[in-house]
Amino acid sequence: MNPPEQTLAQPTDEELLPWGDPEFRRAPWPWFARLVEQYPIVRLEDGSYVVTGYDLVVRHAKDRSLVSVSEEDLGTGPWAANDSMVLRKDGEEHTALRRTFAPFFTLKAMDALVEAIADQTRTSLDEVGQDGILLEAHRQLGVMPQMAGIAQVMGLPLEDASEMVHATNLTMMGMTWDPSPDDVVRAYEGFGYMLTRVDTLIRWKREHRGDGSLVDHWLTLIDEGKITERSVKEHLQAFWAGAGHNPGYVLACALVAFDEHPGLLAIYRDEPAAREPILDEVIRLAAPELALDRYTTEPLEIGGMNVPTGASLRFILGAALRDPAVFENPDQFDHRRPKEANMGIAFGLGRHTCPGMNFARVSLRTALTCVAERYEKVEVIGEPDWKFSDRHRNCEGITVRFLA
Ligand code: HEM
């Protein structure tokens, strides 16, 4: 049974989580703060559950009985385009697929990418004008360096993947709480664009085999009948587009943080030990993937509530990462805050934890270090081209002025 105080006094869903409200989409933090404090788990009128409290999210989002796609959702909607991908698999199939690429994303494997990422960042910084302005800072620093890294992992030629980032943002709109018919059409288009692009890359790789790269390895597994061509296509799409997608947004948020906190870029440059905590704090506040959606396959008890089999659960990482019980003054940027809480939950929890985490951290750290080597301050010019929904936060453009 649900705790009586929650069922009696609970505000309406619209008051608690106005998913479609533009202000909620822009900055959901006050709504999340109220949930964390008063309803760390709440049952909505449609029978789904939303979990926001840090402790509950950390304890339950990794429950291995949860699955990432409900039976009704499999094979339907725009995201069915990724039904062969790890994100939409669970159990042994999921583990086997992760094994096909995991060795290519270890910390050691990432070390080998630093030079290519740094070289590309310096090339991008050469675009900074006499006036210190970098018009396309999101693309130049948040997409191109990351593409240099992922191109090396995949054994593919470097290309500007800004359109892949845009297409990914379109697909993310199809994952919102209540997508409009137009959102759904655009999500289909987003997948169509990306999968067509990936076809070309796979064709190119078939003619350039033998370098031991990840795509080379996947093609060998196809030849051996150990993975399907479709699965390789979807995974390559996810990694090729993913390289600059969330990292590009975090990079833009880092530039905003450097603007808002004069002196922070100099700290980043002069105190190497502060680099990881600064990046952690940027990622905590940025929370690119606001939520994880899961479905129960057995009854669960979460925070005193009985959640039945087949229920939809939304774990809001963006709320947990600002739970004041864990992060004091949670809305403030403070890279010196105590380390006892795990900010890594921004990369998810449990079986679906982000396989691109090491890649993202290395590429961001390298790009920001190159910026700090050349400049003392950053000013953001105008409003970045943010792409916010109730489920994700991203960016497609930011212009900055660098001061030496
Ligand atoms: C700051 C950067 C990033 C953040 C915050 C982030 C966040 C996340 C989160 C929260 C999940 C879990 C989704 C879920 O459980 O439903 C996830 C999964 C995933 N991410 Fe990332 N991500 C980042 C960068 C990347 C990069 C760079 C790549 C690839 C190059 C990538 C590829 C993936 C894939 C393939 C999955 C699915 C894993 C699975 O289902 O087993 N991500 N990411």
Comparing CA positions, the residue from 378, 145, 370, 369 lying closest to residue 275 is 369
The ligand 1 atom at the shortest distance from the C-alpha of residue 350 is 15
The domain ranges of the chain are 22-403
Distance 262 CA to ligand 1 centre (A): 31
Distance 354 CA to ligand 1 centre (A): 4
Q: If you take atom 31 of ligand 1, which residue's CA is the nearest one?
A: 356
CB of 78 sitting under 6 A from ligand 1: no
Sign of CA dihedral 34, 37, 38, 43: positive
Q: If you take atom 28 of ligand 1, which residue's CA is the nearest one?
A: 356
CB of 87 sitting under 6 A from ligand 1: yes
CATH number belonging to the domain at 22-403, selected among 1.10.630.10, 3.90.1170.50, 3.30.390.50, 3.40.980.10: 1.10.630.10
Tell me the pTM: 0.96
Q: Supply the pLDDT for residue 340.
A: 72
Contact 263, 273 (CB under 8 A): no
CB of 349 sitting under 6 A from ligand 1: no
CA dist., res. 285 & res. 333, Å (int): 8
27: which 2 tokens?
Answer: 């900055």
Q: Supply the pLDDT for residue 49.
A: 98
Residue ranges in the chain modelled with pLDDT below 50: 1-5
Q: Supply the pLDDT for residue 5.
A: 47
